[in-house]
DNA sequence: CTGGTCAAAGGGAGTC
DNA sequence: GACTCCCTTTGACCAG
């Protein structure tokens, strides 16, 4: 597992990543950057890149439950209206495909056109239009959750009328409006393509789902917040593991240090060998040896995996001090010439 | 009753 | 100034 942890310079992406970790512009934790490899790495990032930006999408994709794409057709409920085929406008534009969410072969609904052709939304408001049938489907079929069906079916009319009159509400009571399963699923599908919406997309979605644009906007805001929260949880979990690993490494190094000190105490004559040079930098506290004897080897092999311990500064047999800066690197033990 | 979830409101900050 | 985003909080709803 390859990993890198950077505290203080989030602007420098890690080289092994397919793409740098995207952090929001107003990230509340500036200077913190974490990159994961192996199990945590989103290896699909390169092949699963979205058309548009999607902050935290990589993390979300790993933690989010798989989205049910078999939203339609709604077989349990008999259709009274012709099935409609929905297009996610920006998807169709960008990819040249239709995101079919309903029966294939049904009439396609071009949300872009409906949004562009007029502000009255005639294309979707007509009772005979495909969009209308889709909207009716949304309200005819509520959540598949059996426990909720009764309540929700009872509340369908209220919900619909509530939405229709929300704009005119005096706002005295904030009625809880829970989006239907289909509405949430469609919004989710849209979110997978675009974590953010431009006004046209927002209007198109609102018309398509018979929601107010503000509702669509709020849903996306809340959805981004949920994604970010999940990513934060993943990051925290990873940091916790990093902390545990470093703690273990620290313990091991402390133990090795004690062993070295014990060895040094038990075999003091090594320090008197003429060829042995043991130096320590007081600033960085690194011990470097300049010796051909075995003591140097003991100092150099302070790690079992060598991952975190810096290599000796000099391995040459020269009598010259291994540290070039004589001001900061003071020789603690001088060779006996 | 309580805690979790989620839609929504409100406010601050950034951008154009 | 309008718009959008993010963050926090609120309130309704639901399950245990």
Tens-digit pLDDT profile for residues A38-59:
333 333 333 333 333 333 333 3
> Please, which contacts does A124-133 make with residues 24 or more away whose CB atoms are closer than 8 Å?
A124/A207, A124/A208, A125/A207, A130/A82, A130/A84, A130/A85, A130/A106, A131/A84, A131/A207, A131/A208, A132/A81, A133/A81, A133/A82, A133/A83, A133/A84
Which of A55-64, A108-117, A225-234 ranks highest by mean pLDDT? Answer: A225-234
Using the CB atom, is residue A171 less than 7 Å from strand B?
yes
pLDDT higher than threshold 80 for residue A320: no
DSSP state at residue A282: T
The CA distance from A46 to A61, in Å, is 13
Q: Strand B and chain A: which residues 3-22 have CB closer than 7 Å?
A: none
User: Cβ distance A278 to A332 under 8 Å?
Assistant: yes
* Res A274: pLDDT: 53
Beta-bridged to residue A3, according to DSSP, are A36
For chain A, how far is it from start to end, CA to CA, in angstroms?
48
The CA distance from A117 to A125, in Å, is 13
Using the CB atom, is residue A178 less than 7 Å from strand C?
yes
**Cα A82 versus chain centre, distance:** 40
Mean pLDDT value across chain A: 52
Backbone φ, ψ for residue A35 (5° rounding): -130, 140
Residue at the smallest CA–C1' distance to nucleotide B13: A26
pLDDT higher than threshold 90 for residue A121: no
Residue at the smallest CA–C1' distance to nucleotide B8: A218
Using the CB atom, is residue A228 less than 7 Å from strand C?
yes
Share of chain A above pLDDT 90, in %: 7
Tens-digit pLDDT profile for residues A203-238:
888 888 888 888 888 889 888 888 888 888 888 888
């Amino acid at each position: 597992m390859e990993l890198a942890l950077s505290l203080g310079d989030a602007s420098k992406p890690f080289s092994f990543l397919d793409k740098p970790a995207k952090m929001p512009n107003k990230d509340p934790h500036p200077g913190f950057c974490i990159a994961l490899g192996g199990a945590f790495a989103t290896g699909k990032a390169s092949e699963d890149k979205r058309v548009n930006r999607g902050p935290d999408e990589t993390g979300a994709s790993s933690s989010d439950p798989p989205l049910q794409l078999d939203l339609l057709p709604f077989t349990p409920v008999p259709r009274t209206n012709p099935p409609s085929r929905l297009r996610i406008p920006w998807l169709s534009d960008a990819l040249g495909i239709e995101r079919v969410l309903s029966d294939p072969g049904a009439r396609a609904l071009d949300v872009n056109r409906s949004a562009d052709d007029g502000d009255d939304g005639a294309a979707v408001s007509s009772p005979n239009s495909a969009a209308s049938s889709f909207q009716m489907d949304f309200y005819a079929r509520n959540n598949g959750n059996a426990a909720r069906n009764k309540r929700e079916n009872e509340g369908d009319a209220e919900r619909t009328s509530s939405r229709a009159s929300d704009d005119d509400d005096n706002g005295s009571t904030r009625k809880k409006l829970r989006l239907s399963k289909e509405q949430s699923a469609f919004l989710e599908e849209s979110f997978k393509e675009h974590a953010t919406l431009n006004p046209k997309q927002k209007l198109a979605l609102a018309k398509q789902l018979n929601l107010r644009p503000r509702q669509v906007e709020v849903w996306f805001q809340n959805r981004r917040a949920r994604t970010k929260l999940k990513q934060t949880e993943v990051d925290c979990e990873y940091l916790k593991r990093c902390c545990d690993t470093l703690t273990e490494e620290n313990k091991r190094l402390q133990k090795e240090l004690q062993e070295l000190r014990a060895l040094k105490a038990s075999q003091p004559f090594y320090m008197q060998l003429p060829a042995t040079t043991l130096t320590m930098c007081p600033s960085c506290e690194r011990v470097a040896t300049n010796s051909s004897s075995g003591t140097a080897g003991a100092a150099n092999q302070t790690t079992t995996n060598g991952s975190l311990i810096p290599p000796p500064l000099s391995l040459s047999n020269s009598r010259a001090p291994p540290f070039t800066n004589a001001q900061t690197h003071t020789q603690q033990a001088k060779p006996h010439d």
